[in-house]
Each structure stands twice: as structure tokens, then as C-alpha cells.
Chain A
Amino acid sequence: MLTETPMTNPLREGLVDGRRPQPFTLVIFGAAGDLAHRKLFPALYNLMLDHWLPTHFNIVGIARQPYTDEEFRSEVEASIKKFSRRPFDAAQFQLFSDETHYITANFDDRNAYLQLKTVLETMSDRQQIPPNYLFYMATPPSFYPIIAGHLGEVGLNQDADENSWARVIVEKPFGRDLSSAEDLNIRLHQVFEERQIFRIDHYLGKETVQNILVFRFANGIFEPLWNRQYIDHVQITVAESLGVEGRGTYYDNAGAIRDMVQNHMLQLVSLIAMEPPVAFDEDAVRDEKVKVLRAIRPFTTRDITDYTVHAQYEAGFIDGTPVPGFLDEPDIASDSRTDTYVAMRLLIDNWRWAGVPFYLRTGKRLVKRATEIAIQFKTAPHRFFSQTATPELEPNVLTLKIQPDEGIALRFGAKVPGPVVRIRTVNMDFLYGTSFADAAPEAYERLLLDAMVGDSTLFTRKDEVEAAWTLVTSIMQGWARAKNPVATYESGSWGPREAEELIARDGFRWRRP
């Protein structure tokens, strides 16, 4: 008689071609919303076209808008036609949407969850697939604990047996300050275990962001230089030329610090500053990231005044077109103090980074869209060329370009041809677009697939979220206490004068991406 004893699966080792998940059902709360239509359905469709999905997968949408299954499929079809990176194929869509269902319900209606449970169990039985459920909360955040609570009440929060799973993906924003994030974590943990919770930050699904880890830890030449001995300072820029774009109500309650700094920018800081993890797995990577967040020096009240800037955009021109100021945007209160621009200096108190400032800035309605991390190295220690035609040398800068023009550039000095020594700064450029022809998958494709196979490496952990909120909440509280007038900047500029002063205080200047 055979007995089942837990053993590792040698057939899994070394398989790089695919991590196809087990058959599963994706339940999207908020399936009629913008996120589902712009990102989730196209991502799923592309995953299927690329053969990442199992033969049996089902989609169940839940939202308040009344749709039949057929109407919902038509909506999904329209979204894929509009937003998919791969062209629409009717036959493939037929396969994709065969088992797509919709439940019209309010998220606080308990009966809807009983109905959902019946639908899920019926599909699993009929298709003879294990009860694997991935719940996606694409709703306003206030519904997260409500949905989780109801899923728990009807027993959909637990793995049905050792071979099946139940997981939940939670969209940002995850809280609006430390206490609300802690509260949300507590309420989710009353229903789900941490291993079941996947807090999404779509920045981590971007190829160029993942390439930070590859660049640092798959290349032997950079890591020895990656410390206070050689690095002078780091600048992280997330610049947008767009304004609030119809999201005035949301944005006025969030601001740049919640919308960008707490999640995306602190993720970039932790990826740049983390120690090499012992393995590329969920705990090892996230352990190192959270250590960075905890090592960021807390801001004193004086620091908040001197080393943070928050500002709002005023009217100006973007690409020659006049645009209104933030306070004149729809759905923005006329006395709003919400930040559309944030700049700050972070210090990381650990062995590697002691004394190396990290400058962060993000803003809307800036002159151009650009996200990059610039690592400026210290200048050569000996002024060997001081008697030449170019006595002052520019420092080397390594720039990781996240978007657009995804790539990596290294700035260094080269001799200008001629009989005298004249040095000119040149760039060595690597561009994703020219070295890799195939379009990179969308961030949501990678992250959805990771959640389906249970890999949470690229999702944020409870302690990570709370460490980020600890820092950001202290800054927001400092701003509230100070009650200074909010700085302003002209739309189409690179931000407020105060931000220039912030970095100039340390003898540096912001880069022009």
C-alpha cells in the first residue's frame, strides 16, 4: 500500500519555461470598474495567449452594475479590443470567455457571497478541478475589510484541502496612514493568513524595476561599488506631465506622498539600497527590503522643514498647451492643501549607506514624463588632469531609466580627439527597445501570474507596508503641524524653487532627465 509522504518534486527543478498555475477561478470584486477593464482583463487575455494559463480557468466578476453573463462578456471583449497589447482574436476570446460569469451585487450583501460560493463550487464540480480561488479586490479600499469578512463568513477564505488554495489580491492604496494600514492588516488577518494576502504594487511588476535586481545581483562589477565608499548620492525621479485627469476626488484625498512616495518610490529605494538576498524568493527578498525601510532615519520636525518639500502645481503650459492649476481642476476643493509634488532627502543609517543622501522627487504637471534612478559616483580622488584644458571632471552617473526609454546609461569622461587633453562627458546607453525586440509583458500580467502560482516575492508584505507608512505618516504629520503655506510651481516646470533649495543645501543639483 502506498502512503503519501511529503517529498520534493525533482521534476519542478530547473524548469524555466513556465510556471503554469493549477486550474483556478479568478473572482474580481469591482469587475465593472476601470482597473478591471483597462488592466486585469487584458492581462489575463495576454497570459492566455502566451500559454501561461491552465486549460481550465474561470472568471467571475462581481459589481453593482447590473449585467447578465452575456453582457459582461461583451464588456470584457470591448476592453480587450481596446487595451490588450496583443491583437484581439475571436477564436481565442471564445476560449478565454467560455467560463466567464457575472454576479450583480453590493459588496456588503451577504447573500451575494453565498451565491458566489454556489457558483464556484458548481464550476469546480462540473469541471472536476480543484477549488483554487484568487479573489481580486479592485474596489474602493473601504470595501476591502467588508469583502474579506464576508468571504470568511461563507468559508471561502480557507484552502479547501492540501492541494488547493485561496488567495486574495489587494490593490493600493493600502491604508491612508500608519494606523489605517495597521487596522486593515488586522482585519484582513482575521480572515486570511499572511501567505494568502498579495498586496499589489504594480511598479514591482515592471520589467525595468525587476531589472534593478538583475542589474545589481547578476553582474559582478557593480556590487563592489554599490556603497558609501564610491557612491556620492542617489536621485530618484518620478515625473509626470499629466494632471489629476478626472481623478480629482481620489487625488485630493491622497496627494503625491500617498499616491507615489509611500508605495512606488519607497519600493525603488529599497530595491536600490537592499543587501543581496540569500535567494530570489519571497521571504529572502522582502526581508532585505524591509530592513532598508527600517534603516531610513526618522525625520525630526526640523528635518521635515529642511529636507522635505510639498507643493501644488499652478497653471502653465505642457507641450505648448495651457493647463489649469491644481485648485482649478474639477473635484478639487478650492482650499485644498493636497501635495501634487513632493521632494525629500532620505538618509539610510546602515553600514552600506551611512552618509549617502537619497533624494526623491515626484510630481504632476512637470515638464515631461520620466522615471529614473540616478546613482552619482564620487569623483576621481586625484585631479590628474588639473593642468589640462578640462581641469574639472564631471562625476560618473549610472542612470536606471524606468520609463519611458527604458534602459541603463553610464556617464563617463572621454578624451576629445586632438593634441591637447580635453575631456568631454559621454554616455554609454543600453536601451531595452533596441536590445530586445519583443514587447515586455504588462506589469499586471507578471503579478497576476505570480499570485496564481503563489509567489509573493513581488508583492508587499505586512511589515513592509507598515514600515513605509511609519515614515510617510511622520512626514505628513510634520506638514500638518507646521501649517506653512503650500509651495507652488508652474505647470510645465521641474517643480518648486524650494525643491532646488533642498538639494542645493547639500551642494547638489537635480538632474534633468
Chain B
Amino acid sequence: MAIPSTVSWSASDLKGPRLLEAINTVVPNALGGIKPIVATVLTLGLYVKGMASQDWLLMAQQIGQHHPSRIVVINPADPTGEPRLDASISATLTQRRPTDIPTLFSECVELNLKGGLATHWIDLIQPLIRPGVPAYLWWMGLPPLTGFRWDLLSTTGFTHLVVDTETRDWRAWLPLLRDAVAHHMRVDDLNWQRLADLRQHWAQLGDHAVGISVLMRVQTIDITWNTESPTHWVWWLAWIASRFGWTLVLNDAQIPVAMNTENGSVPVTMQKGATATARLIADDREIRTVMTKERLVTHILQQNHPLYHLDDLRITTTVQDDMLQILNRGHDVLFQEALSCLLSVTESVGGERHA
């Protein structure tokens, strides 16, 4: 029998049990009673509060096409008025051969929540999370206010939290990340994923004897950034610090001002400028990286004489690409270590003061 490639269903003003029933029956009903093989290997929650639907609809569709997953879109549309749930289901089916049982490759469950459900959605979500497989919550909107019930969320079954610290200053995200980590969720950042090429570039510099030598004996670090915030470079500093076992020192505005290394405190300057650059100096040697949208170019110099240079094309990705990378690869321990490095100095307001 020819099977449909997609099955769709929607209903307004639903109760939770009716939604669960629909999730279990919509596809078999469309297949004439055949229960499909379920291929989904994770649940992905998209929290889209305050976002325009066109921003997340396409994303959900594309991820659903590339990753076998149950996607649950949580859209707290309006917290006022009577509680109301409008929902739709869209399932993608595949079939290798006409005689094979169809496979449910992915499904997208969109929840539009109003009234009390818009603020108390965690209970509603819990039965929708597939048991026994990883469950990611992608927090796409603004960071939540303090007092968010991470304790409840972390027991729903969501094991991973994904944010994008490029959307806001990193400082806005830190409280959320700290809370999530405290409740044993694994945290990942799309912005961190996006900086994979910067880390790869610097790892390559570290492969070079002169490069690693300057890093190990660095005496000053100067950074300029040319975007709205220096979030990229903060993550980069936290990564360097965590890899070498060093600690960061932040000022009252939580901007890095020094790095404590085995050789003592290394001053860090961060300022806005025309280009995005990082400059590390050790005695008469210097590593200078210029980051543009297109390239990462680094020169290692000794008294301004070139010793080595590295020129890499930037890797341009879409948000969907970055998310798929995270879903495919799983939690990045390097990010956890860099985050811990940053969180450890922001425990108290303003962090450690720089003498």
C-alpha cells in the first residue's frame, strides 16, 4: 500500500488526554490501523515564547527532516484569559520498500498555550517526552526570569538544555545556565558550537611549537571586538583558561580583566574596535588572530618578524546546522568546562575583583 509521506492533524481547545490520544492514534489511523516502526531517537522541545512563528516553524520542519525526533513546540502565546490548548501534529513517514512496515521518522507537536497553561506548561509536556531517549529543550526566546522552576523542568525528562548566547549578552544567560547545571541538566550553547572553527584554529596554533610556547608563557592578552557584545571572546577566554587549568578574573561588569596562570596574573584588556582580534604576547613573541566573517587569520611573530601564519576560511552555518550538530554529537564537555570556569568566578556579584 502506498503510504503518505506526511500526516497532519490539528484541533482547538483540547484537554491533555485528548492530545495524548491523538499522538498515539493519528498516524495509525492514517495508515489504516498499521502501527508504524518508530525511529525517533530523541525528544526536542522548542520553547518559543515571544518569537514569530516563521522563525521557528521552518526550523522545526528542517530539523524534523534531518533528525529522527519528536519535536514539541512550546508556544506560550498568551498568559491571560482562560487556560486553552490548541495543538497540531505533523508526522513524517518513510518506507524503504512497499512491503515494509512504514517508519515514523519524526513528528512535530505544536502546542499553543494560553491562560494558566502558558505559565504552567511543564506538567503538560511531561507525557509527551519519549522515555528512554535523550530529551533536549532548546530555549529559543529570552532567558527566563529568576524563579523559573528548574526543579520541575529537570524532572520532566528533559536531560539537556540548549541556548544561544549570541542572542543576548552572555551575562543575561549565565543565571539560567547556572540553574540548569545545578539541576543536573546538560547544557549546550549554539554560539559555542558556532565557534568550533575558532577553537580548531587555535588548536592548530597550539600544535605548533612556537604557538604552544607563547600560550604557556603568555604575559598579556588584548582583545578587540566589533559586534554588539564580546560574547565570542569571553567563551574563547573561558575555553583557553579551562584547557590550561587557569582561572579568569572578572570586574564588576563581569568582563574578564585577567587570567591567573602558573606564571602569575596575566592582564586581559577587552575593548570595542574596528576589527575582532586577539593578541597574546610573551616576551618578544606574539600571536595575533584577526577574525572576520570570512576568515580566521593568525600570525605568530617574533619582534615583528613572521614565524608562522595560519589562514582558515570561516565555517558558515545556519542555526539549524548548529542545532543538528549538537543533536548528532551530544553534549560538549568542553563547553561544560568553560562554563564552569566562568560560573566559578561569577558566584558572587561582580566575581573576583582584580587588584
- Which residues of A approach B to under 8 Å, CB–CB? 1-7, 9-18, 20, 22, 51, 54-56, 128, 162-163, 405, 429, 431, 433-438
Knowing A7-B216, A15-B203, A437-B66, the reply to whether A2 touches B283 (Cβ < 8 A) is yes
Partner of A9, one of B65, B196, B212: B212
Contact in complex: B206, A10 (CB < 8 Å): yes
Q: Note all chain B residues with C-beta closer than 8 A to A128.
A: 309
Q: Note all chain A residues with C-beta closer than 8 A to B205.
A: 11
Partner of A17, one of B209, B210, B325: B325
Knowing A2-B285, A15-B334, the reply to whether A437 touches B68 (Cβ < 8 A) is yes
Q: Note all chain A residues with C-beta closer than 8 A to B68.
A: 434-437
Contact in complex: B332, A16 (CB < 8 Å): yes
- Which residues of B approach A to under 8 Å, CB–CB? 37, 39, 41, 65-68, 94, 96, 103, 105, 193, 196-197, 199-200, 202-210, 212-217, 240, 243-244, 282-285, 295, 309, 311-313, 315, 324-325, 328-329, 332-334, 337
CB distance from B149 to the nearest CB of A (A): 32
Q: Note all chain A residues with C-beta closer than 8 A to B39.
A: 434-435
Nearest chain-B residue to A6 (Cβ)? B209
Other than the given A7-B216, A14-B334, A436-B68, 6 more pairs (CB < 8 A) read A2-B282, A18-B200, A54-B312, A163-B208, A434-B103, A435-B41
Knowing A17-B199, A17-B200, A437-B65, the reply to whether A51 touches B315 (Cβ < 8 A) is yes
Q: Note all chain B residues with C-beta closer than 8 A to A437.
A: 65-68, 105
Contact in complex: A4, B209 (CB < 8 Å): yes
CB distance from A28 to the nearest CB of B (A): 23
Identify which of A3, A10, A54, A436 gathers the most chain B CB atoms within 10 Å of its CB: A10
Contact in complex: A434, B105 (CB < 8 Å): yes
Contact in complex: B333, A14 (CB < 8 Å): yes
State A27–B41 Cα separation when bound (angstroms).
42
Nearest chain-A residue to B41 (Cβ)? A435
Contact in complex: B243, A55 (CB < 8 Å): no
Knowing A13-B243, A51-B315, A437-B67, the reply to whether A1 touches B283 (Cβ < 8 A) is yes
Contact in complex: B243, A56 (CB < 8 Å): no
State A209–B210 Cα separation when bound (angstroms).
39
Knowing A9-B203, A431-B96, the reply to whether A2 touches B213 (Cβ < 8 A) is yes
Q: Note all chain A residues with C-beta closer than 8 A to B244.
A: 10
CB distance from A319 to the nearest CB of B (A): 15
Partner of A11, one of B206, B210, B217, B284: B206
Knowing A434-B39, A437-B68, the reply to whether A4 touches B213 (Cβ < 8 A) is yes
Partner of B96, one of A4, A9, A17, A433: A433
Contact in complex: B325, A434 (CB < 8 Å): no
Number of residue pairs spanning A and B whose beta carbons lie under 8 angstroms apart: 96
Q: Note all chain A residues with C-beta closer than 8 A to B67.
A: 437
Contact in complex: A55, B333 (CB < 8 Å): no
Partner of A15, one of B96, B193, B200: B200
Knowing A2-B282, A16-B329, the reply to whether A405 touches B96 (Cβ < 8 A) is yes
Q: Note all chain B residues with C-beta closer than 8 A to A405.
A: 96
Nearest chain-B residue to A436 (Cβ)? B68
CB distance from A469 to the nearest CB of B (A): 37
CB distance from A27 to the nearest CB of B (A): 22
Contact in complex: A56, B311 (CB < 8 Å): yes
Q: Note all chain A residues with C-beta closer than 8 A to B193.
A: 17
Partner of B243, one of A11, A20, A431: A11
Q: Note all chain A residues with C-beta closer than 8 A to B240.
A: 11
CB distance from A256 to the nearest CB of B (A): 29
State A55–B313 Cα separation when bound (angstroms).
6
Q: Note all chain B residues with C-beta closer than 8 A to A10.
A: 206, 243-244
CB distance from B240 to the nearest CB of A (A): 7
Nearest chain-B residue to A404 (Cβ)? B96
Q: Note all chain A residues with C-beta closer than 8 A to B209.
A: 4, 6, 162-163
State A431–B95 Cα separation when bound (angstroms).
12
Contact in complex: A2, B312 (CB < 8 Å): no
State A405–B96 Cα separation when bound (angstroms).
9
Q: Note all chain B residues with C-beta closer than 8 A to A3.
A: 213
Partner of A7, one of B202, B212, B329: B212
Knowing A2-B217, A55-B312, A434-B68, the reply to whether A11 touches B199 (Cβ < 8 A) is yes
State A438–B196 Cα separation when bound (angstroms).
20
Contact in complex: B66, A438 (CB < 8 Å): yes
Q: Note all chain A residues with C-beta closer than 8 A to B94.
A: 434
State A437–B328 Cα separation when bound (angstroms).
11
CB distance from B316 to the nearest CB of A (A): 9
State A128–B309 Cα separation when bound (angstroms).
8
Q: Note all chain B residues with C-beta closer than 8 A to A162.
A: 209
Identify which of A5, A6, A435 gathers the most chain B CB atoms within 10 Å of its CB: A435
Partner of A55, one of B66, B213, B217, B311: B311
Nearest chain-A residue to B38 (Cβ)? A434
11 contacts across the A-B interface (CB closer than 8 A):
A1-B283, A6-B209, A9-B212, A10-B244, A12-B206, A14-B333, A162-B209, A163-B208, A163-B209, A434-B37, A436-B68
State A429–B207 Cα separation when bound (angstroms).
44
Q: Note all chain B residues with C-beta closer than 8 A to A1.
A: 283
Identify which of B96, B283, B309 gathers the most chain A CB atoms within 10 Å of its CB: B96
State A15–B201 Cα separation when bound (angstroms).
11
Q: Note all chain B residues with C-beta closer than 8 A to A436.
A: 68
Q: Note all chain A residues with C-beta closer than 8 A to B243.
A: 10-11, 13
Contact in complex: A18, B313 (CB < 8 Å): no
Q: Note all chain B residues with C-beta closer than 8 A to A429.
A: 37
State A55–B310 Cα separation when bound (angstroms).
9
Q: Note all chain B residues with C-beta closer than 8 A to A11.
A: 199, 202-203, 205-206, 215, 240, 243
State A17–B37 Cα separation when bound (angstroms).
32
CB distance from B218 to the nearest CB of A (A): 11
Q: Note all chain A residues with C-beta closer than 8 A to B210.
A: 2, 4
Q: Note all chain A residues with C-beta closer than 8 A to B65.
A: 437
CB distance from B216 to the nearest CB of A (A): 7
Q: Note all chain A residues with C-beta closer than 8 A to B324.
A: 438
Contact in complex: B199, A15 (CB < 8 Å): yes
Nearest chain-B residue to A434 (Cβ)? B39
Nearest chain-A residue to B314 (Cβ)? A51
CB distance from B162 to the nearest CB of A (A): 16
State A436–B284 Cα separation when bound (angstroms).
51
State A159–B45 Cα separation when bound (angstroms).
51
State A433–B66 Cα separation when bound (angstroms).
11
Nearest chain-B residue to A16 (Cβ)? B329
Nearest chain-A residue to B63 (Cβ)? A437
CB distance from B68 to the nearest CB of A (A): 6
CB distance from A408 to the nearest CB of B (A): 14
Nearest chain-A residue to B296 (Cβ)? A55
Partner of B206, one of A9, A54, A56: A9
State A128–B103 Cα separation when bound (angstroms).
53
Nearest chain-B residue to A19 (Cβ)? B200
Nearest chain-A residue to B325 (Cβ)? A17
Q: Note all chain A residues with C-beta closer than 8 A to B197.
A: 18, 51
